[in-house]
Structure 1
Amino acid sequence: MDIVFEVIGWVGTVLLIAAYFLLSIGRIPNGRAYQLFNLFGAIGLLINGAVHGAWPSVILNIVWSGIGIFSLIQLARKQRVTPTETPSADSATI
């Protein structure tokens, strides 16, 4: 069973590094994909840290997960509130 928690930790590490790298080179924006990578990466490291008793890492990844969840909620609210664009009277041709 120990190998499962090691794999979870390594997958979390890869997700966090991939998110940062992809954002840094402009392949993904700071949006839903980036926040999901961060959230699941932090959860993986949180689980691994808890199994190994690495409590500073666990606390860090609880906070990191919270930031990811908060950001995803903000993005969802922003998408719901933003109305679809409608042509204005100024842009109509006669």
Structure 2
Amino acid sequence: MEITGIISAIIIGIAIGALGRLVIPGRQHLPIWLTIVIGIVAALAGTAIAAALGVADTGGIDWIELVIQIGLAALGVSVADGMYGRRKR
């Protein structure tokens, strides 16, 4: 992977992680680095799922892929918040 690929993965991970956090109601007690990691993993997994479904390469913005990525990020943030919150208390 090239350095531009790593930088773009981090930027996309920040955006997807933040959107995943916004979808979950209430306050999450997660550090920002964990949100970024969840966003990067969700972006990569969402792209793989969209490619498997055949909706990854469409003309214009890939809305279905974006919804899958945000949904996975929301699921990841919810699970991580449950685990991280229990550990802190």
TM-score tier, shorter chain, comes to: 0.3 to 0.5
TM score, norm. by length of structure 2? 0.38
The structure having more radius of gyration, on CA atoms, is: 1
TM score, norm. by length of structure 1? 0.37
Higher relative contact order (CA 8 A, sep 6+): 2
